[in-house]
Amino acid sequence: MTTVPPPAAPAPDPISPVQAAALRDGVLPPVEEIRPGIWTIAVPFRSGTADATLAYVVEGTDGVLTVIDPGWASDDGPEVLRAGLRDIGRSVDDIGLVVVTHLHADHLGAAAAIRRASGARVAMHRLEVEALRREHDDAVANDADIATWGVPDDLRAGVVAAWGSGRRIGLGRTEEPLADLLVEDGDLLPVAGRGLRALWTPGHTAGHLCFVDVKDGLLFTGDHVLPRINSGIGLGGRTGANPLGQYLDSLVRLEGYGDLEVCPGHEYRFRDVVTRVRALVRHREERTCHVAGALDDLSSPTLFEVASRVPFSGGIDSMSGFLLASALTQTAFHVDLLGRGDEVRPA
Interface ranges with Zn ion (CB under 5 A): 106, 223, 265
Shortest Å, Cβ 204 to Zn ion:
8
- Nearer to Zn ion by Cβ, of 138 and 223: the residue is 223
Distance, in Å, from the CA atom of 83 to the CA atom of 88, rounded to the nearest integer, reads 9
Residues 262/211, Cβ–Cβ less than 8 Å: no
Which value, in Å, is the radius of gyration of the alpha carbons in the chain?
Answer: 20
Q: How far is the CB of 110 from Zn ion (least distance, A)?
A: 13
For residues 209 and 222, give the distance between their C-alpha atoms in angstroms, rounded to a whole number. 7
Closest CB to Zn ion among 32 and 106?
A: 106
Of 15, 19, 55, the C-alpha closest to 38 is 55
Closer to Zn ion at the Cβ: 80 or 310? 80
Q: How far apart are CA 244 and CA 329, in angstroms?
A: 10
CB of residue 55 to Zn ion, shortest distance in Å? 11
Q: Which residues partner with 159 through β-bridges?
A: none
Rounded (5°) CA angle 148-150-154 = 120
3-class SS at 264?
strand
Checking DSSP bridges between strand 181-183 and strand 121-125, what pairing results, if any? parallel
**CA atoms of 343 and 294, how far apart (whole Å):** 11
Comparing CB distances to Zn ion, the nearer of 151 and 171 is 171
Nearest approach, Cβ of residue 267 and Zn ion (Å): 10
CB of 303 to Zn ion, least distance (A): 26
Helices vs. strands in the chain: H and E counts, helices first = 11, 11
Q: List beta partners, residue 55.
A: 41
CB nearer to Zn ion: give 182 or 229.
229
Rounded Cα distance between 304 and 176, Å, is 38
CB of 226 to Zn ion, least distance (A): 8
Q: Which is nearer to Zn ion, 251 or 344 (CB)?
A: 251
- For Zn ion, the closer CB: 78 or 265: 265
Name the minimum Å distance from CB 286 to Zn ion. 23
